[in-house]
Structure 1
Amino acid sequence: MTTASAPASTSTVHPADGHDRIRVLGARENNLKDVDIELPKRRLTVFTGVSGSGKSSLVFDTIAAESRRLINETYSAFVQGFMPTQARPDVDVLDGLTTAIIVDQQRMGADPRSTVGTATDTGAMLRILWSRLGEPHIGSPQAFSFNVASISGAGAVTYEKGGRTVKERRDFSIVGGMCPRCEGRGTVNDIDLSALYDEAKSLNEGAITVPGYSMDGWYGRIYRGCGWFDPDKPIKDYTEKELNDLLYKEATKIKVDGVNLTYLGLVPQVQKTYLSKDIDSLQPHIRAFVERAATFTTCPECDGTRLTELARSSKIRGISIADACAMQISDLAEWVRELDEPSVAPLLKSLQNTLDSFVEIGLGYLSLDRPAGSLSGGEAQRTKMIRHLGSSLTDVTYVFDEPTVGLHPHDIQRMNSLLLQLRDKGNTVLVVEHKPEVIAIADHVVDLGPGAGTDGGRVVYEGTVEGLRASGTLTGRHLEYRAQLKPQVRTPTGALEVRGANTHNLQDVDVDIPLGVLVVVTGVAGSGKSSLIDGSVAGREGVVTVDQSPIRGSRRSNPATYTGLLEPIRKAFAKANGVKPALFSPNSEGACPTCNGAGVVFTDLGIMAGVSAPCELCEGRRFADSVLEYTLGGKDISQVLEMPVSEALAFFAEGEAKTPAAHRILTHLDDVGLGYLTLGQPLTTLSGGERQRLKLATRMSDKGAAQAQVFVLDEPTSGLHLADVEQLLGLLDRLVDAGRSVIVIEHHQAVMAHADWIIDLGPGAGHDGGRIVFEGTPADLVAARSTLTGQHLAEYVGA
């Protein structure tokens, strides 16, 4: 390991001594190889290394995880019973820890009721403000909440009077702000009944086509046993009453085979089961059903505001709370600044500070009514930062996962200032990052590697930024890397026309996107890049889109299952051995009978963290012993799943194991830089960058992708090391050279410099953006320097 002396910090705190360090000895989480390291407290430490080198395993899965676990153990046993249990990380010694606050890129709550306002304190503060100053006065803060319904009724009240107990019946009412039509969601849905059932069939013949509504399960038991219609009669022959009972009957208690059950019509049952949830949180096959069966439209009663007419009638200076929540936050901040009301002065000050933090952190283009689930990973992470900027807490450990994701180069300096601000308050700041601009401000750098997966997991450098540059590590060698403008760009073969685009903040944009070349769409965060591409390009025939929506999968999911690779492998094993393909799935007939194919056995210790240990019978291989007797090319199925992609690529290329379908998928995995991943590695252990590239490889392997002419990629450099960006550029070139058109939404200057054509949106964000401010070659953009992107690209290439 290369080391360097401790850095000279510009921080106002005292230099760290031997007692002011976080000490890690023998860390072995995931691919870490007995890592020993000491980190200075109250400093900004940046962790670098290629994707899969072990950065997240060290920072999040070891240091932050143990801090969280120890904090949880301070609660009573009763409280711990309601908290998720966490196992101790695989590490020998961890001391010097302080309370860890994790600010990661996990998407914010997918609940459709969650908005930017509810996810921060701003929504609550606005409700209090309107309850105090709104005219006409309509009640308490809950009268302005779209999560509280209005209720009227009567109930008994018991109290003591004159030494005796008095019981009275009183009327009561709760005034809430929830729109009764859409129940505070802002949208209503209409259901296409033909997507719910096949009227030509009877229930027993499988008429109901809703996922999970099998006649062999509970729903079938209820519908067949309710007695209101004949389960053997085709639905098209139902009487009006029978059809109404099937589709719309309200919740009714029934008894079937001696069991008390609740019957609910098919339509309200589907609404309750699927349509009340955020569509992005659903499994792919259920999401496809919902998109096919339901049409979501803006609620006509509240016009999408989620609030009752009463709540919208109360105004401050002519502005309702719905108007305020719909404002761009930067505009709302200015509006609040003009309010002068001594009776609520502390509230106004707090609200003003929070709104200013949104603007300061580069999110002034959002609105408070924006659904939280629609924020990108980078936007979600910066939104979480807001509550910490004004915090009075000191001497805590803040942990960030690539805070510059989704940020234009113009905004990175602002993010750097915020990280330094947290450090200078006396906090320890740990940042996993690839951007040279962030690495440059570090007090201390830890570089992991030398490679990824089994080739990583070691500390290859620790010290100053200057020492990293001279270290000779992969990160050190690439720290000064600058892509150059291409001497010659490709000639377009056509154009994809966009006319009058007005999605979100776009202002009737007309643009011709060249085909047959590499097009990069640029602009500051919130300028309208995704709105242009998602609203006018994605979804067209022949277009394949790889966005940043998260990959969902359990510990049983792995690259082989996610990409569809396991299917041709199972068939190859079955054909070679004359048995059924299902035997070669750890989730089916081939599963180890002891661990049910999980590979580990979990022991629940009640309020304490559960313990997992490799299954003693299969020794973690997940398959029954009888299955492992079958081989293909001299390897059993568990040995194949332990292969890295690069090894499997050669294995399935020739000889007895030659499997073209598997080889094709493996080629795509290797092309996107995932050659080091093992086929059976749980998806839960992959980093964000690895998951996005896995999705890209999967889309390239889709049957439809073979006919696709346009690939759309949304920030494919997210989570990529500087060395990996070069490999990505090679992949993009191969796609274009094969006759495809590639459109990339990107902030990375190396990708901009490599483009054939750039479309720059801006000039600012929100209503200050939404216009095309430049179209042309990268060389022309650099020469003009007429936009923020042009200025930063010119500086990057040294022009």
Structure 2
Amino acid sequence: MFERGAIEVNDAHQNNLKHINLTIPKYKITVFAGLSGSGKSSLVFDTIAAASRRELNETFPSFTQQYLPKYGQPHVKRIDHLPVAIVIEQKRIGKNARSTLSTYTGIYSLLRLLFSRAGQPFVGYSDTFSFNLPQGMCQTCQGLGYVDDIDSKALIDPNKSLNQGAITFVSFGPNTWRWRRYVNSGLFDNDKPIKDYSDHEMNMLMNAPQQQLKGAPAKWPRTALYEGVIPRIRRSIIGKKEAQHHKEALAKIVTRRPCPDCHGTRLRPEVLTCKINGLSIADVLSMDLVHALKFLHDIDVPLVTDVIREVGTKIQSLIDIGLGYLTLDRSTETLSGGETQRIKIAKFLTSDLVDMVYILDEPSVGLHPHDIQLIKNALINLKDKGNTILVVEHNPELIPIADYVVEIGPKAGKGGGQVTFTGTYEELLNSNTMTGDYLKRPLTYRTPRQFDEKISLKHVQTHNLKDVSVAIPLGVETVISGVAGSGKSSLVDALRPKLKEPFIDLAQGAIGTNIRSTPVTYLDILDDIRKEFAMASGASTSLFSYNGKGACPRCKGKGVTITNMAFMDPVAQECEMCHGKRYNDEALSHLYHGKNISEVLNLPIEMAIAFFKDTKEIDHKLVNMQKVGLDYLTLGQPLTTLSGGELQRLKLAVQLNKTGTIYLLDEPTAGLHMKDVAKLIKLFDELVAAGNTLIIVEHNLEVISKADWLIDVGPNAGIYGGEILYAGIPEKAQAEAASRTGQALKAYNQQRQLN
């Protein structure tokens, strides 16, 4: 069928896929479109990518396999002609205080080599310039660039004894295992108030370094080391995973400041004396990529020509994909998912590997139409090198790059999982498929709603904003747009302290999900459902909890049993005892309106609304799920199976029905098909009509065209942005040549006219 070969998928039935057979051309860009939850990720990531990664891992010895990531056996009969897959996902880089843009990309290693060979005076070899190694790191901050001061007074209630809970920091309270290390040490009178301690006792309680106790009481563990409260918090909580659980508590006791010795450079003073053209390695690391490239081009030392060429290639590829505003010392934990994905794309652009299949997860997320053009260029370059590109995408700005389009649908969840279209982009436009219909629609602008009140921001200089002043209307919908990194989020940061009314911040944090998290637990209606069952049956509510008394004894309420297979993948099987129902026989024996608890939790929300129509506590929360377009999910579906777009709307559903409130949203259309975006726009209109204010950071042109007010930030990112390019009615932005968003709105409709 395809002259240069194809990937042949036979009988894919992973998750909601309906036994799909599909032919995907090689050496082309194929875009997979369809509603959120329709099955695109199940096909592309959970089937094609998983099969390729699994096959590749099995080429290694079994000893090596135990250290490799595990990919379960996808539910597919077979996949023929499958290349090695490289998956470029939206996942943020792990939270590591030592990881920066330069260390993550390998640029730092090359810069260290450069300074060790060409820097003057000579201070040592490559390792000497590393802030992650003892040879180079500042001893005061251990190469972190900052120090954390802990306020001892905030940790202690001086009027209480240890037995009364004098150590006030979370996880050190009475009867906790950390508390026992102090009361069982034999060092203190556990009933004496802290204010009566001697200086020695106070120092032992708060500041003592790790040590073995001499003559410790019998209650003291034989191998344990004693340690004061402050060094213990520093060692075991700050900088560790546990810190994420105690953010608020840590904020009250910890003050972070630049290291007084290295002033944030992370390196020993001797290292900084070594310079090239008057600049130390720390000076270069503080530069953005554009200026760093200029620094390299100004070096004229033949010995390091090859090093300069290699590091220059890496930096240029990042600039070409629109990341020139990032500094080399930028912490990776502050990078957005979109920035991380572009860094990964840039990395592969410099690779000499060919005949690979690159699989991308919505590379347009978080990107302005101007940035999307750069992504298009990068993907075409990857293809032209001799690779196959598979892209899961909803954005009408990026879909036209496709040589071939696969639409999955027709609906989401159980109503999806079928191939509803295959063909070229032009054939898609001429089809009457859902995606084709939406792609043909031009933007239409709303008649802006009037507003009387506004919040004025004056002379804002947060982060990269350049002394900007702008007014944000209240009682209507305002979109803040601009290229990634232009200063949109900084503007919202400056706005938050000015908000006198209560506001709902949907821009913060992802939902923590695990195998036990479901829509009913997140909506907080499982207890209400259990109460209904308890009243109908006379049994206790705990019997209807799969995390408690009602759990299946075999799988402990998970619905599956997981068997560890040593160096092979763990095998998850439907529980033989409860057959995936999670509950024991006693819990399943009780009925409510003719259904047992498992049958109720398997109801799609659309049907559950009718089932619980007489129970207001449950009904209104389920109706909110319908309003955000999630009524195809079942009540008990694990949140781990939801896409990013679905999780975003789940957060919004919880916060509906609040009036006179300001909603702050950050790219709410992320991961949404154009049909879902239309639903979201309708919901936004309802929220404004109910008296709410919406302030949305967004790139989606459809959302922008339906807003009442537009604030465009730019023109570019980082130090090259931070200006207000336009503030006013969205439609009139088209006439502003300086407005990147205005020009994108204009170009979108011009393209529709050509089609």
Q: TM (normalized to structure 1)?
A: 0.89
Contact 1:586 1:597 in 2 (8 A): yes
- Matched residue type, 1:148: L
Deviation at 1:315, TM superposition (A): 1.7
Alignment of 1:298 onto 2:258: yes
**Which residue of the partner structure matches residue 236 of structure 2?**
273
Alignment of 1:507 onto 2:466: yes
**Which residue of the partner structure matches residue 163 of structure 1?**
none
Q: Distance in 2 between matches of 1:315 and 1:708?
A: 58
**Greater Cα offset, 72-81 or 398-407:** 72-81
Alignment of 1:181-260 (within 5 A): 181-193=140-152, 196-213=155-172, 215-254=174-213, 256=219, 259-260=222-223
Deviation at 1:447, TM superposition (A): 0.6
Q: Distance in 2 between matches of 1:194 and 1:646?
A: 54
Alignment of 1:348-747 (within 5 A): 348-486=308-446, 488-537=447-496, 540-541=499-500, 542-547=502-507, 549-654=509-614, 658=615, 660-700=616-656, 706=658, 709-747=661-699
- Matched residue type, 2:394: H
Deviation at 1:540, TM superposition (A): 4.4
**Greater Cα offset, 523-532 or 302-311:** 302-311
**Which residue of the partner structure matches residue 60 of structure 1?**
45
- Matched residue type, 1:564: D
Q: Distance in 2 between matches of 1:539 and 1:260?
A: 54
Q: For residues 753 and 121 of structure 1, do their structure 2 counterparts lie closer, same or farther at Cα, with a shift above 3 Å needed?
A: same
- Matched residue type, 1:263: Y
- Summarize deviations over 1:522-562 as a string: whole Å, max 9, x none: 11112111111124327945222212643322222222223
Q: Distance in 2 between matches of 1:507 and 1:371?
A: 23
Contact 2:142 2:266 in 1 (8 A): yes
- Summarize deviations over 1:321-362 as a string: whole Å, max 9, x none: 122111111121122122222101111001111111111001
**Greater Cα offset, 206-215 or 634-643:** 206-215
Q: For residues 69 and 195 of structure 1, do their structure 2 counterparts lie closer, same or farther at Cα, with a shift above 3 Å needed?
A: farther
Q: Distance in 1 between matches of 2:734 and 2:598?
A: 53
Tell me the SS of whatever aligns to 2:561.
Answer: strand
Alignment of 1:787 onto 2:750: no
Contact 1:67 1:98 in 2 (8 A): yes
Contact 1:111 1:277 in 2 (8 A): no
**Which residue of the partner structure matches residue 298 of structure 2?**
338
- Summarize deviations over 1:695-729 as a string: whole Å, max 9, x none: 2223447xxxx477211111111101011111111
Contact 1:544 1:708 in 2 (8 A): no
Deviation at 1:580, TM superposition (A): 4.3
Alignment of 1:310-329 (within 5 A): 310-329=270-289
**Greater Cα offset, 687-696 or 627-636:** 627-636
- Matched residue type, 1:101: I
**Which residue of the partner structure matches residue 100 of structure 2?**
115
Deviation at 1:213, TM superposition (A): 4.0
Alignment of 1:17-166 (within 5 A): 20-149=5-134
Q: For residues 83 and 33 of structure 1, do their structure 2 counterparts lie closer, same or farther at Cα, with a shift above 3 Å needed?
A: same
Q: Distance in 1 between matches of 2:716 and 2:434?
A: 36
Deviation at 1:216, TM superposition (A): 4.3
Alignment of 1:739-778 (within 5 A): 739-778=691-730
Provide structure 2 residue ranges, at least 5 long, that are not aligned to the other structure: none
Contact 1:482 1:750 in 2 (8 A): no
- Matched residue type, 1:80: Q
Tell me the SS of whatever aligns to 2:505.
Answer: strand
**Which residue of the partner structure matches residue 171 of structure 1?**
none
Q: Distance in 1 between matches of 2:293 and 2:224?
A: 52
Q: Distance in 2 between matches of 1:713 and 1:198?
A: 40
Q: Distance in 2 between matches of 1:632 and 1:295?
A: 54
Deviation at 1:21, TM superposition (A): 2.1
Percent identity of equivalent pairs: 45
Deviation at 1:777, TM superposition (A): 0.5
**Which residue of the partner structure matches residue 157 of structure 1?**
none
Question: How many positions carry a matched residue from both structures?
Answer: 746
- Summarize deviations over 1:746-791 as a string: whole Å, max 9, x none: 1111111111111111122221210111111112212334322111
- Matched residue type, 1:791: Q
Q: Distance in 1 between matches of 2:613 and 2:253?
A: 43
- Summarize deviations over 1:184-226 as a string: whole Å, max 9, x none: 2222223344654544444444444444446545324422321
Deviation at 1:312, TM superposition (A): 2.5
Deviation at 1:52, TM superposition (A): 0.4
Tell me the SS of whatever aligns to 2:76.
Answer: coil
Contact 1:107 1:377 in 2 (8 A): yes
- Matched residue type, 1:75: F
Deviation at 1:673, TM superposition (A): 1.6
Contact 1:203 1:232 in 2 (8 A): yes
- Matched residue type, 2:459: G
Contact 1:602 1:613 in 2 (8 A): yes
Deviation at 1:242, TM superposition (A): 2.6
Contact 1:376 1:548 in 2 (8 A): no
Deviation at 1:85, TM superposition (A): 2.8
Deviation at 1:502, TM superposition (A): 1.6
Q: TM (normalized to structure 2)?
A: 0.94
Deviation at 1:369, TM superposition (A): 1.0
Q: For residues 317 and 678 of structure 1, do their structure 2 counterparts lie closer, same or farther at Cα, with a shift above 3 Å needed?
A: same
Deviation at 1:595, TM superposition (A): 0.9
Q: For residues 21 and 673 of structure 1, do their structure 2 counterparts lie closer, same or farther at Cα, with a shift above 3 Å needed?
A: same
Q: Distance in 1 between matches of 2:198 and 2:191?
A: 14
Tell me the SS of whatever aligns to 1:42.
Answer: coil
- Summarize deviations over 1:58-109 as a string: whole Å, max 9, x none: 1111111111112112222222222333321121112321111111100012
Tell me the SS of whatever aligns to 1:302.
Answer: coil
Q: Distance in 1 between matches of 2:193 and 2:225?
A: 24
Q: For residues 247 and 635 of structure 1, do their structure 2 counterparts lie closer, same or farther at Cα, with a shift above 3 Å needed?
A: farther
Tell me the SS of whatever aligns to 1:126.
Answer: helix
Deviation at 1:258, TM superposition (A): 5.4
Q: Distance in 1 between matches of 2:427 and 2:714?
A: 38
Alignment of 1:288 onto 2:251: no
Q: Distance in 2 between matches of 1:734 and 1:117?
A: 46
Q: Distance in 2 between matches of 1:624 and 1:253?
A: 49
Q: For residues 673 and 294 of structure 1, do their structure 2 counterparts lie closer, same or farther at Cα, with a shift above 3 Å needed?
A: farther
- Matched residue type, 2:630: L
Contact 2:477 2:695 in 1 (8 A): yes
Contact 1:399 1:431 in 2 (8 A): yes
- Matched residue type, 2:478: V
Tell me the SS of whatever aligns to 1:648.
Answer: helix
Q: Distance in 1 between matches of 2:607 and 2:96?
A: 42
Tell me the SS of whatever aligns to 2:455.
Answer: strand
Q: Distance in 2 between matches of 1:354 and 1:767?
A: 21
